[in-house]
Amino acid sequence: MATQPPPPRRVAALLLVLVLVLVLVLVASASASASATSADLVVTRADRRVDLTSHIVRVLTSLKVENIGPEAASQVLLAFPNVQAKNLAAIRAFGMEGKVKGPSTVLPIEVVQPSGVPPELTFFSASLSKALEKGKILHMDVLTVFTHSLQPFPEEITQAESQLVVYQDSAHYLSPYPVKVQTLSIRLPGGRVESYTKYPNTKLAESELKYGPFEDRPPFSYSPMVVHFENNNPFAVAKEVIREIEISHWGNVQITEHYNIVHGGAKLKGEFSRIDYQSRPYVRGVSSFRHLIARLPPRAHSIYYRDEIGNISTSHMWSDSKKTQLEVEPRFPLFGGWQTTFTIGYGLPLQDFVFNSDGKRFLNITFGSPVEEILIENLIVKVVLPEGSKDIDVSVPFPAKQWKEVKYSHLDTSGRPVVVLEKPDVIPEHNLYFQVHYRFNNISVLREPMMLITGFFLLFMACIVYMHTDLSISKNSPSYLAKVQWDEVQNITQQIQAIFERCLALHDKLEASLRDLSRSGDVQSCKAARKAADAQFKELAKELKPLLTSLHSSPQSYQIWPKVEDLVAKERELQEKLMARHSTVVDSFEKKLRGQDVENRIATQQQKVAALRQEVESLLEYINSSRFPVDNPEAD
Amino acid sequence: MAEPESSTAAAGAGGSRLRNAFGGVLCAFTLLLIGVLAFSIRLFSVIKYESVIHEFDPYFNYRVTQFLSKNGIYEFWNWFDDRTWYPLGRVIGGTVYPGLTLTAGTIWWLVNSLNIPLSVETVCVFTAPIFSANASWATYLLTKEAKGTGAGLMAAAILAMVPSYISRSVAGSYDNEAVAIFALIFTFYLYVKTLNTGSLFYATLNALSYFYMVCSWGGYTFIINLIPMHVLLCIVTGRYSSRLYIAYAPLVILGTLLAALVPVVGFNAVMTSEHFASFLVFIILHVVALVYYIKGLLTPRLFKVAMTLVISVGLAVCFAVVAILVALVASSPTKGWSGRSLSLLDPTYASKYIPIIASVSEHQPPTWPSYFMDINVLAFLVPAGIISCFLPLSDASSFVVLYLVTAVYFSGVMVRLMLVLAPAACILSGIALSEAFNVLTRSIKCQLAKLFDDSPAASGDSSAESSSASTSSTNSAKNENRSEKSETAPKEKPSKKNRKKDKEVAESIPAKHKKEKKLLVLPMEASVMGILLLIVLGGFYVVHCVWAAAEAYSAPSIVLTSRSREGLHVFDDFREAYAWLSHNTDVDDKVASWWDYGYQTTAMANRTVIVDNNTWNNTHIATVGTAMSSPEKAAWEIFNSLDVKYVLVVFGGLVGYPSDDINKFLWMVRIGGGVFPHIKEPDYLRDGNYRVDAQATPTMLNCLMYKLCYYRFVETDGKGFDRVRGYEIGKKHFKLTHFEEVFTTHHWMVRIYKLKPQKNRVRGKLKKLKSGSKTSSTIAAGRKKNPWQ
């Protein structure tokens, strides 16, 4: 800070340098002027309008060029000093022949290096679509956009100060041709104008600074002018923007933009006091900016705004049918030199940006960032095409470095082709449409879902196979055999149990028939029931026999076998007793005995039957429980 | 809750298989739903706020995970972090429990190798909910081992939404506890499983699971003390078995070896007192095993002789070992215990000796309301669960009871250990509820059966003189019969696995149940009422849990919100400040703040900090505390000697954010004063009261913290009214001489100051002479002033 010279001396030094440059230029040009111009062109009128309201300087030069030489001229040269040319972000020329205004054509422009011109100048040549004949007049509009041309001065200011910048140019139009009449008007953002170079006919009115008209200037005339004025417009400079455009043929174009923004104006010096900023934000913090406005295409959806540590909650959005306007406010107000990063993402409907043309598809979308009045020092646009795209072809309306990458995302196998375009110094003027042509088969869309389906299908299949196969390593180890036998025993026991339960059910049926008998007195039906039961008992006994033998023969049944034997015996006894009772009751009914007598006769039998039944049931239960061995703590 | 086995009990043998299969599917489906519930109830924070890492420690874990995913595992083990504890640095690889980081890192790696582009942050945010689902499944397994499937499902459902666990595992709460609770329960499950089966396979798994737990959380000492306690309990109550031996011995050997592999534990696994109980019990277990073995070999008479011999020798050896251990332990100043463990054993220890442990709010003892907040109705269900664990007492259920009892004690010491209590409470409540439902539904079933059976019998003849019990039993037999016929028992040979599953499901039905069933019949009305009340109770619990998950525990604490009439107002000041630091200061600048914000500063702002939440160096923290409680010039000297360029303070006075630095300030004084005695706590208190209003002491009003917090605060409203403390501040207008404000966030919650550069010494000779004499004097006198000279 201490090394900074006081302002007036600095300006003077600057001017001195410029003058030196100028002298050099003029000396050089004097010698070169003869050979520099191939044709004898004369600029009859040059009006320059310089717009200094934002930090991007736009110069619109209207030229009237006349060919006074004998030969037809096919190109018009435009000259810029190197100091300006290195800040030149865009140059465009529109030409129109004839006196009356008609449709103008865009003139292609290229850098040329004519022989014998001073090296301090950079030349551009606008090639005419039709050579300019002798005596013809060409109307030409040249739009040049410069970045970094407003130098903050002083370079460091405090929070309360407003930002002053210096703009340098030539009061005279620098041209390789003689200029007859010329004017220069500079539009300032309003506010204070600290100083400006005064020439004879210089006028400052409102926020407009006018130089000229100057008449009959020789080629390469240069007269430096400097204007020092207040400009508090946001100097939003993005160091780098990565804009990723991802096409999904499921119906979405996803755009993700990573910004690294810095306030490119005068640096903040000293304290930042929140109390000052909050109480009078437009006075104490006038040079800072709080928010940026992004104009997104209409029907943008799923918009997010975040940075690497999470969502940023300060943003607003309005949308109508023409556009979606997003106001993003960084986490903190940006003062000079402060920087921040953030990411904006949004989705766009596919049909608005991807079209079909003779078998090929093409993406048609704007190149630059949607943020207003932002200077991007390095813009990288990545177009991520869907997996399986072929024949990729890019057409960009201006030169840009391009190469290809592959990106893997969302279950990709072969990866998505990515077209990368890189361009330095991108300004809003570069927000032009560019096209990416590619071939894409619709079937490829289904690749990933099919992959998932197959994956899950295989998983479930594997599960099923695993559940149904026996993965024991050794098929004849004793433990394995024991297990197999044990399973067998369990199976048999289960069947035996089932049979016994059916027996018990039959018993119940018999009892029921007896009850029916006592109610209706129908002896015949009771007898029929008895007969049916007898037959079924026999059948069951037959079924039981092989099971019992196989159970007996199994070595694993040693625990259960006695119980089962017991069960068989008990059940047989029960069956006999029941039959006996049944026959007694039926008998007594046939003999028409009194109910009381019948009761007496069967009372003892009844008791025995009940006791037996209880025993059979408990045995069954025991067998049921012993089917499951005792590793359960509660079972013992 | 559907309980497959209760239906199985009634079903016949043929139908039972199908029913078991059905029950198995139902059970699996219920478990799946419980997992989904556990996961989704934790997403409130993402829905209400955003997918962001919460609080303090998770930021560190997140940063470590980022490092791991970027640099790989070997770099991670060797990571020396120079962005923290400046100028000391910290060896992260050797001082961090790597379980959580490795888990999330593995998930991230797996997902990304499948080309699913999830960021590390997303994986970290959702790790905790995923592991809560795992934890509830582990709870199911553990409870099933103890009390059967029904109780298991109940416990899993309860654990899925217990507020205490939710508080530590909401999405974004990326902390060790999130995975550790799963590891804890799973280790317990494997222990109990080994105990029940005696399988070496499970014993090995148990050791591995213990290893995972050691990797994840310092709370592993709970396991390595609880399991020995249980083993001892089993031995004392005469339940020694070979299964117990298999469950314990491999765990100690393998577990200790594995634990020693974790760098942060290392030789602590054999050298600190926390682990001695396990070795002692290991010895005892072997003595007991030997005794049992000899008992089997010898006749009773001989055995008696041998017994006395073995006992005397064994005791002698034991005493010798114990004596050596005691000698070893006593030689270390903390008796071989770490500070946190000591404060567990003696709850007053920390507040007496280690203010840094005591200053953490989660190390305070809990209040009664916090029990109600964190486990809610479970507190009432737990006693019932304990009772049902004693009916009958098995190895597994005794373990559960022991777990609960110890966890209750620990939760009483530190509010943070409420987390350990939660699974125990859930398991026991699950058991209680399941048993209660079992009894009630069974009695309803019996009553219904009686109802249906009695009506035809009454209309029929009077010959049905058999007792109601036998009627009901015949009736049930009839039912079985019918069910069997209708269901056409599946005759195909079931696969081995199915059968095994059947067995598992059905093995929990004791044979006695049928008989008990006849005894334990409650009146119809009572059981219906009981069920309704239990459902209402469960409903209350669910409502409370959802409320807790949605309102109480979902806030990420770095973003605050308040509801006003205009709607939601967001206070995003912390991130504003960290973003400012990260973008507008030099990469190597050092930022000093109180240690609470250290992790966040390194993770979010990527700036070097002096102290952070890993409070490993008390002196260093005390230095910062001293600087904060010193007057400006002394503070500037301390900070300058530490290369500090920025000082960050958190101030809530403007918006009423209560946990700001002024409220934490007394701890800074205490911790600072603990090391540098010239800082005396009474200097900052007026009659024992801590205040910053006009009554405050001059020391207080002149200390750096006060000045940095209240610098130009009076200009906001003209009076300087502090909304947190609720009064006007004491000293309103003052200027800073050694610091300058460089950034204050929108709501003033974070204020960042820059140390002013040293003044140029213009008139060289004169000044130099003066300062020369000054420095010589300060060397003598300044020792107490500036700890760094």
Per-residue model confidence as pLDDT tens digits over A260-304: 999 888 888 888 888 888 887 777 778 888 888 999 888 888 999
Residue A563's pLDDT is what? 77
Cα B158 from Cα B132, distance rounded (Å): 12
A185 burial via Cβ count (<10 Å: 0-12, 13-18, 19+): middle
pLDDT tens for each residue of A479-505 = 777 777 878 888 888 888 888 888 888
Q: Does A304 touch chain B (CB under 8 A)?
A: no
Report the chain B residue with the minimal C-alpha distance to residue A501.
B481
> Worst-scoring range by mean pLDDT, B324-338, B546-560, B644-658?
B324-338
Is the CB of A313 inside 8 Å of chain B's CB atoms?
Answer: yes
Helix (H) or strand (E) holding A268: strand A267-268
* Distance, CA of B592 to CA of B574 (rounded, Å): 15
Indicate the average pLDDT of chain A.
81
- Mean of pLDDT values over B384-410: 89
Q: What is the pLDDT confidence band of residue B157, given thresholds at 50, 70 and 90?
A: very high
Examine the pLDDT at B425 and tell me if it is beyond 90.
yes
pLDDT band at B369; cut points 50, 70, 90: confident
pLDDT given at position B480: 41
Taking only the tens place, the pLDDT of each residue in A564-583 is 788 888 888 888 887 887 78
Which positions in chain A touch B575 (Cβ < 8 Å)?
309-310, 331
Burial class of B573 by CB neighbour count within 10 A (0 to 12, 13 to 18, 19+): buried
Q: Write the pLDDT tens digit of every residue in A439-492.
A: 988 888 888 889 999 999 999 999 989 888 877 666 667 777 777 787 888 888
List the single residue in B197, B460, B604 with the smallest CB-CB distance to A309.
B604
Counts for chain B of helices (H) and strands (E), in that order: 36, 13
Compute the half-sphere exposure of residue B7: CA atoms within 13 Å on the CB side of its CA. Answer: 17
Cβ neighbours around B184 below 10 Å, total: 28
B141-158 residues labelled b (16+ CB within 10 A) or e (exposed): bbbbbbbbbbbbbbbbbb
Secondary structure of residue A410 in the 3-state scheme? coil
Burial class (CB in 10 A: 0-12, 13-18, 19+), B494: middle
Query: How many angstroms away from the CA of A439 is the closest CA of chain B?
Result: 23
- Lowest mean pLDDT across B270-274, B381-385, B741-745: B270-274
pLDDT (0 to 100) of residue A312:
87
Average pLDDT, chain B: 81
Please name the residues between 368 and 397 in chain A that touch chain B, using a CB distance below 8 Å: none
Find, in chain A, the residue whose alpha carbon is nearest to that of B499. A487
The answer to whether A71 contacts chain B (CB < 8 Å) is no
Q: Is residue A226 predicted with pLDDT exceeding 80?
A: yes
- Residue B195, classed as helix, strand or coil, is helix
Cα(B785)–Cα(B573) distance, integer angstroms: 34
Cis preceding-peptide flag for A213 (omega within 30 of 0): yes
- The amino acid present at A604, given as its one-letter code, is T
Highest mean pLDDT range out of A244-258, A540-554, B505-519? A244-258
Is B493 an 8 Å CB contact of chain A? yes
Q: Does A338 touch chain B (CB under 8 A)?
A: yes
Q: How far apart are CA B128 and CA B173, in angstroms?
A: 7
Identify which has the larger pLDDT, A493 or A596. Answer: A493
Chain A, nearest residue to B606 by Cα: A309
d(CA B553, CA B42): 9
- What is the structure's pLDDT at B488? 37
Q: Which residue on chain A is closest to B484 by alpha carbon?
A: A498
% of chain B at pLDDT higher than 90? 28
A98 touches A85 (CB < 8 A): no
Put simply, the answer to whether B395 touches A633 (Cβ < 8 Å) is yes
Which residue among A273, A498, A519 places its CB closest to the CB of B741?
A: A273
- Among B584, B599, B760, the strongest candidate for a mutation testing the A interface, having the largest count of A CBs within 10 A, is B584
CB contact under 8 A, B477 and A501: yes
Evaluated on CA atoms B439, B445, B446, B448, the torsion sign reads positive
Half-sphere exposure of residue B82: CA atoms within 13 angstroms, side-chain side? 3
Tell me the count of A-B CB pairs closer than 8 A.
150
Closest alpha carbon within chain A to B750: A274
B646 interface with A at CB cutoff 8 Å: no
Q: Which of B147, B486, B744, B755 to mutate to test the interface with A (most CBs of A within 10 A)?
A: B744
Chain A residues inside the 8 Å CB shell of B499: 487, 490
- The pLDDT, as a whole number, for residue A627 is 57
Task: Give A-chain residues touching B514 at CB under 8 angstroms.
Answer: 621
Q: Do B510 and A634 touch (CB under 8 A)?
A: yes
> SS3 of B415, please?
helix
For residues A379-392, give the mean pLDDT. 90
At position B510, the amino acid (one-letter code) is P
Indicate the length of chain B as a whole number. Answer: 789
Whether residues B50 and A487 touch (CB distance < 8 A) is answered with: no
**What strands, in cross-sheet order, belong to the sheet with B644-650?**
B608-609, B590-592, B644-650, B750-755, B739-744
CB contact at 8 A, A235 and A55: yes
Q: Which of residues 547-576 of B touch A (CB under 8 A)?
A: 558-559, 570, 572, 575-576
What residue of A is the nearest CA neighbor of B493?
Answer: A491
Residues 6+ apart with CB under 8 A from A535: none
What local confidence, expressed as pLDDT, does residue B6 receive? 39
User: A513 is written with which tokens?
Assistant: 């028939």
Q: Is B507 close to A408, i.e. CB distance below 8 A? A: no
> Which structure tokens are listed for B190?
């494997």
CB A268 within 8 A of CB A158: yes
Q: How far is A179 from chain B (nearest CA, A)?
A: 49
Give the C-alpha separation, A530 to A578, whole Å.
11
Q: Which of the pair, B5 or B210, is modelled with greater confidence?
A: B210
Quote the minimal CA–CA distance from B576 to chain A in Å: 5
A634 contact B CB<8A? yes
H/E run at residue A332: none
Q: DSSP string of A47-59?
A: EEEEE-SSSSEEE
Q: How confident is the model at residue B479 (pLDDT cuts 50, 70, 90)?
A: very low
| Least CB–CB distance from B744: residue in A274, A313, A470 | A274
Query: Closest Cα partner for A229 from A196, A187, A193?
Result: A193
- Chain-chain contact of A312 with B572 (C-beta, under 8 angstroms): yes
* Most confident option among A96-105, B514-523, B587-596: B587-596
B506 touches chain A (CB under 8 A): yes
Which chain A residues have a beta carbon less than 8 Å from that of B148? 634
CB-based contact A487 B496, cutoff 8 Å: yes
Judged by CB atoms closer than 8 Å, whether chains meet at B52 and A505 is answered as no
Contact A309 B579 (CB under 8 A): yes
Coil/strand/helix, residue A342: strand
Question: In the beta sheet, which residues pair with residue A63?
Answer: A46, A140
User: Are B394 and A634 a contacting pair at CB < 8 A?
Assistant: yes
Residues A60-89 have a mean pLDDT of 86
Token output for B300: 């009773």
pLDDT score, position B465: 37
